[in-house]
Amino acid sequence: MSSTETKTGSLAGLKVIDLTRVLGGPYCTQILGDHGATVLKVEPPQGDETRDWGPPFEHGLSAYFAGLNRNKRAMALDLSKPQGRDVLMRLLADADVFFENYKIGTLEGWGIGPDELQKRFPRLVHARISGFGDNGPFGKMPGYDGAVQAWSGLISINGNPESGPVRMGISVVDMVTGLYAANGILMALRERERSGKGQFLEVALYDAAISILLPYAHNWLMSGKAPTMQGNTSPNISPYDLFKTKTESLFLATGNDRQFHRLCDELGKPELGKDPRFTTNADRVKNRAALRAALEDAFASVDGKELATKMMHYGVPAGAALSIPDVLQHPQTIARDMVVQTGRFRGTGIPVKMSRTPGSPGSEPPAFGADSRAVLAEAGYSDAEIDALIESGVVPRERKALR
């Protein structure tokens, strides 16, 4: 999107300079862009490596990159060169947010770390995503989602005793970190309205991962009993598990006694609800194996999707275990606009539905350096200066091979 176009949405007018790569940071800035912020993605000469994370590829972009980088402009900049840092300073002059995930110490070594930037741009909100933060035994070390899932204990509670520890199938740590970063940025901007001052904020993947260990961390802190892998079950609720049916598997997520008794009635098994082994949730957790055996018998001859839908109509939380293609074509997904077209690409929709200032999937993800020349011109560089920056490699035309 050029500066002449008018963006709408709750964050219209917010200017974000985004130096993040891979998942957590780009996920955060895509959220901001979906809701109207003007986001400039500034890539190093090598580009964002997720441009190469495929197949599949379409129109020169990987599905991975396309899923994280809509609603952004893009330019390339070599910050290892003083002229590149000069360009960045000019871009930050009227920015609200500067967001980066460089290895801790890199920007400081170039003289543009948090302290220097806060002095130069006192209203700037400077956000950083890191692996482990800047202190502690792992301080300043890099982190990727899978490794942090291991260090944080997430994989120790995923899977079952037969499978052993299993990485969660989505990059949940990266995505949660991106969500925390979006919240942190908006909190800092809200505080700036009162104080007139920006600030530096950091979100570490490790911290974010530990924050979502509910209830396993809290169970151990209260009981001293180490959690074990339980497959699809919950350590605190029963029945909360995946069951086989004649067709799709069925997930029951009964959260209270009323829901459980209603389930028993609808299954034509009211006696289960009256069984003293299953009367309360605590009873059912204690006798989960016996309850599971009784429910498996009841589900063996039923259609999983039909039963899950029926249970939901009766107020019992349940879900059919659908495939990703089934989900993306499901009437509920379509009704909620959760598959959207963005230029030449399709992607997932916007989950925050606002009444007056709705978000928009907007512009398609950009090619490498697609807006470099336009952005520099808007920042006040002459054509001759732009040509010189491009010829010198400060503003690369094409991606440099990563070594």
Catalytic annotation, pick one of 34, 48, 78, 174: 174
Q: Compute the distance between CA of residue 44 and CA of residue 88 in angstroms, rounded to an integer.
A: 12
Classify residue 79 by its DSSP letter.
Answer: T
Q: Where are the alpha helices (DSSP H) in 196-323?
A: 205-211, 216-223, 257-266, 270-274, 281-286, 288-299, 304-313
Classify residue 49 by its DSSP letter.
Answer: G
Residue 138 makes CB contacts below 8 A (sequence gap 6+) with 131, 132, 151, 206
Contact 1, 73 (CB under 8 A): yes
Cis peptide before 361 (omega within 30 of 0): no
Phi and psi at 168, nearest 5°, equal -65, 135
Let me know if 174 is a catalytic residue: yes
Counting Cα atoms < 13 Å in the Cβ hemisphere of 321 gives 14
Q: Dihedral of CA 86/88/90/93: which sign?
A: negative
**So which residues are the catalytic ones?**
174
